[in-house]
């Protein structure tokens, strides 16, 4: 229940008050294995990382670092006129321990961090900086991006002042008596805690700003993420890894939950997937006992582990092996569980954080997701998607505007709900299976509620044709006809496009037999072959950006669609996709 009064206990970092309360424990208990500065700096400056090394950070060291950073930002921002609860943009690489210190300490100083990653283009960042959300005209920048920031902001209508992220070692030492309790900010539960940005999976434009409340972040730290990523009870300390860029919300969600849970966090590389050898190194050097990663990275590790007994046994000995962000196949999940891996997955979003989780176990229902502790997800039948009995009914995950974890009111639709656009079926009461997004389902024929699952077809085409196809997308052409786009890889460059189409259709014939008639692609006239790397995808997760794909190939799809409709008109054909 959200509090209607202002209190330090409402702050999303209020769990620090108890974590740091016992100085004798705080001086020895580990909270971070921080990637060594020499590793991070070399990766940023030269790209030559060298072997991973870590520095151990205790609770007390973290408290001192936060206090030093808070003091720095209080001086630098207030001297430039930034007021309490004003939004402070941070332009960060997302690769450094100091990025986390900056995000937390700016909030502890009474401001609202607006976190922007260098994963976005400079032009997108300038658009994100538009002062339409109570933003200050002071921008905190990593030294690595200061010059780019100065050049990008020069000549703009709004005059920005840059404040560089400090070097932790250069800040004055914190007095021994100093405590995080000193001047801890008092907030309302509904107050903005931070602003992050969408990853741009399906967007045609710049990533959207997402305001996240203290109530939502605190609920995540205390309830939702622990029920997703810290299943089971153990006497010894939990040790979990980061799995995303520090400037993206996923890392903050796992870090705050881990700190609140008394766990320790191992910083994995923030700019690429961790390798199997590095997983083994994190276990050996840091005591990693829970691992979490995006689904596409998990698929690679499971594949490698099947041929690496040491890696498989290491994963098997974990307390939990978790993937998120993008699904792996049911077959992969099932095989891992049946062979001893404590697999789980969870579903979430930038706007809401984690909402649904599977559980450790070998039964079929253990693979299905259910509401996480503290989640207020509801399931509704999407408009115009009431399906006939031959298809499983789909439900959209929504959250009521009255929920304390509901996103900013600007994301609430006229019906009073935040719509995730994520679809699930319900194989058993209260248990759900993710089926894709509303944009993944393309309606087949006017007047009939029949849909094809574009994502399911894309994934299978890429697997079945992986030796000569590097990407696939199913989109609705401008006049509504579903079309299959495939990228020709290097192995297909010596084959003409019609030949590639024939090979794709031949390969997917057995797969077509598993689909309903209206879901099948059987005519080369509905296939478009494009160059490798031209299908727009999300940078972090690799998901196809379907609207952007349809826009990028609009003219080709329109020509293909018109020719196909003319062919059917002349020949009376009923083929193509059914």
Residue 40's pLDDT is 60
In which element (H, E) is residue 528 found?
strand 527-531
**Residue ranges making up the domain that contains 563:** 457-571
Pick the residue with more confidence: 240 or 243? 240
Among 242, 272, 302, the domain boundary falls at 272
Count the neighbouring beta carbons within 10 Å of the beta carbon of residue 479: 11
Residue 409's pLDDT is 87
How many domains would you assign to the chain?
A: 3
Average pLDDT over residues 417-421: 92
Q: Are residues 23 and 79 in the same domain?
A: yes
Q: Are residues 58 and 203 in the same domain?
A: yes
Distance CA 443, CA 546 (A): 15
Spatial CB neighbours of 378, under 8 Å, sequence gap ≥ 6: 397, 398, 399, 400, 417
Q: What is the pTM of this model?
A: 0.79
Q: Are residues 149 and 257 in the same domain?
A: yes
Q: Are residues 37 and 120 in the same domain?
A: yes
**Is pLDDT at 468 greater than 60 in this prediction?**
yes
Q: Is 331 among the domain residues?
A: no
Q: Are residues 130 and 78 in the same domain?
A: yes
Count the neighbouring beta carbons within 10 Å of the beta carbon of residue 85: 13
**Is pLDDT at 304 greater than 90 in this prediction?**
yes
Q: Are residues 505 and 393 in the same domain?
A: no
With 0-12 / 13-18 / 19 or more C-beta atoms within 10 angstroms meaning exposed / middle / buried, residue 533 is exposed
Per mean pLDDT, which range of 51-60, 106-115, 226-235, 384-393 is the poorest? 384-393
Among 240, 272, 304, the domain boundary falls at 272
Average pLDDT over residues 465-471: 92
**Is pLDDT at 444 greater than 70 in this prediction?**
no
In three-state secondary structure terms, 162 is strand
In three-state secondary structure terms, 168 is helix
Q: Is 334 among the domain residues?
A: no
Q: Are residues 430 and 462 in the same domain?
A: no
Residue 12's pLDDT is 97
Among 272, 299, 332, the domain boundary falls at 272
Place of tokens 């460059």: 493
In which element (H, E) is residue 425 found?
strand 417-428
Pick the residue with more confidence: 380 or 517? 380
Residue 424 maps to which CATH number?
2.30.38
* Average confidence score pLDDT of the chain: 87
Residue 557 maps to which CATH number?
3.30.300.30
Q: Is 511 among the domain residues?
A: yes
Residue 54 DSSP code:
E
The band of 436, judged by pLDDT with boundaries at 50, 70 and 90, is confident
Q: Is 246 among the domain residues?
A: yes
Q: Are 554 and 479 in contact (CB under 8 A)?
A: no
Residue 153 maps to which CATH number?
3.40.50.12780
Question: Which residues, listed in sequence order, are joined to residue 544 by a DSSP beta bridge?
Answer: 537
Pick the residue with more confidence: 578 or 508? 508
Q: Are residues 107 and 51 in the same domain?
A: yes
Q: What are phi and psi of 165, to 5 degrees?
A: -60, 130
Q: Are 145 and 93 in contact (CB under 8 A)?
A: yes
Average pLDDT over residues 543-569: 86
Residue 421's pLDDT is 86
Average pLDDT over residues 333-343: 97
In three-state secondary structure terms, 572 is coil
Q: Are residues 501 and 435 in the same domain?
A: no
Q: Is the Cα torsion angle 518, 524, 528, 530 positive or negative in sign?
A: positive
**Is pLDDT at 72 greater than 70 in this prediction?**
yes
Residue 132's pLDDT is 61
Q: Are residues 434 and 462 in the same domain?
A: no
Spatial CB neighbours of 435, under 8 Å, sequence gap ≥ 6: 394, 423, 424, 425, 441, 453
Spatial CB neighbours of 429, under 8 Å, sequence gap ≥ 6: none
The band of 48, judged by pLDDT with boundaries at 50, 70 and 90, is low
pLDDT tens-digit readout, 142-196? 998 888 888 888 877 678 889 999 999 999 999 999 999 999 999 999 999 999 9
Q: Are residues 129 and 64 in the same domain?
A: yes
**Is pLDDT at 81 greater than 90 in this prediction?**
yes
Q: Are residues 39 and 134 in the same domain?
A: yes
Furthest-apart CA atoms within the chain: distance in Å: 86
């Amino acid at each position: 229940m959200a509090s209607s009064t202002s209190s330090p206990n409402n702050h999303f970092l209020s769990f620090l008050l108890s974590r740091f309360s016992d100085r004798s424990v705080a001086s020895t208990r580990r909270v971070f294995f921080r990637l060594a500065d020499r590793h991070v700096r070399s990766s940023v400056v030269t790209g030559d990382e060298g072997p991973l090394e870590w520095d151990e950070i205790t609770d007390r060291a973290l408290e001192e670092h936060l206090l030093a950073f808070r003091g720095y930002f209080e001086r630098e921002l207030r001297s430039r006129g930034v007021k309490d609860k004003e939004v402070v943009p941070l332009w960060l690489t997302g690769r450094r321990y100091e990025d986390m210190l900056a995000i937390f300490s700016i909030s502890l100083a009474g401001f609202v961090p607006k976190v922007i990653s260098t994963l976005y283009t400079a032009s997108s960042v300038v658009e994100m900086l538009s002062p339409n959300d109570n933003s200050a005209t002071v921008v905190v920048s990593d030294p690595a991006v200061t010059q780019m920031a100065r050049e990008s902001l020069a000549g703009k209508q709004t005059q920005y002042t840059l404040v560089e992220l400090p070097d932790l070692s250069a800040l004055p030492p914190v007095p021994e008596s100093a405590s995080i309790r000193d001047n801890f900010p008092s907030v309302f539960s509904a107050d903005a805690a931070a602003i992050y940005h969408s990853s741009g999976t399906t967007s045609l434009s710049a990533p959207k700003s997402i305001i996240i409340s203290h109530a939502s972040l605190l609920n995540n730290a205390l309830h939702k993420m622990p029920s997703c990523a810290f299943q089971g009870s153990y006497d010894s300390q939990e040790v979990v890894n980061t799995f995303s860029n520090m400037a993206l919300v996923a890392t903050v969600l796992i870090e705050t939950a881990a700190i609140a849970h008394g766990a320790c966090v191992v910083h994995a590389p923030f700019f690429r997937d961790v390798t199997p050898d590095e997983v083994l190194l994190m276990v050996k050097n840091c005591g990693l006992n829970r691992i979490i990663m995006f689904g596409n990275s998990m698929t690679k590790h499971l594949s490698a582990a099947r041929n690496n007994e040491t890696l498989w046994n290491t994963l098997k000995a974990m307390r939990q092996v978790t993937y998120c962000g993008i699904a792996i196949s049911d077959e992969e999940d099932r095989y891992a569980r049946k062979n001893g891996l404590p697999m789980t997955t969870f579903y979430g979003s930038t706007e809401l954080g984690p909402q649904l989780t599977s559980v450790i176990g070998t039964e079929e229902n253990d693979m299905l997701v259910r509401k996480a502790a503290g989640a207020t997800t509801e399931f509704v039948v999407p408009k115009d998607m009431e399906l006939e009995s031959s298809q499983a009914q789909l439900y959209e995950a929504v959250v009521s505007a009255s929920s304390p974890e509901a996103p900013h009111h600007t994301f609430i639709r006229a019906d009073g709900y935040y719509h995730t656009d994520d679809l699930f079926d319900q194989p058993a009461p209260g248990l759900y299976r993710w089926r894709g997004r509303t944009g993944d389902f393309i309606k087949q024929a006017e007047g009939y509620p029949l849909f094809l699952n574009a994502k399911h077809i894309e994934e299978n085409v890429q697997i079945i044709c992986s030796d000569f196809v590097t990407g696939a997308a199913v989109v609705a052409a401008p006049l509504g006809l579903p079309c299959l786009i495939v990228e020709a890889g290097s192995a297909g460059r010596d084959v003409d496009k019609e030949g590639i189409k024939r090979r794709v259709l031949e390969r997917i014939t057995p797969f077509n037999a598993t689909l309903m008639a209206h879901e099948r692609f059987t005519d080369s006239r509905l296939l478009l072959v494009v160059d490798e790397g031209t299908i727009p995808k999300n940078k972090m997760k690799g998901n196809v950006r379907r609207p952007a794909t349809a826009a990028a190939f609009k003219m080709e799809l329109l020509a293909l669609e018109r020719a196909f409709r003319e062919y059917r008109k002349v020949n009376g054909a009923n083929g193509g996709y059914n």
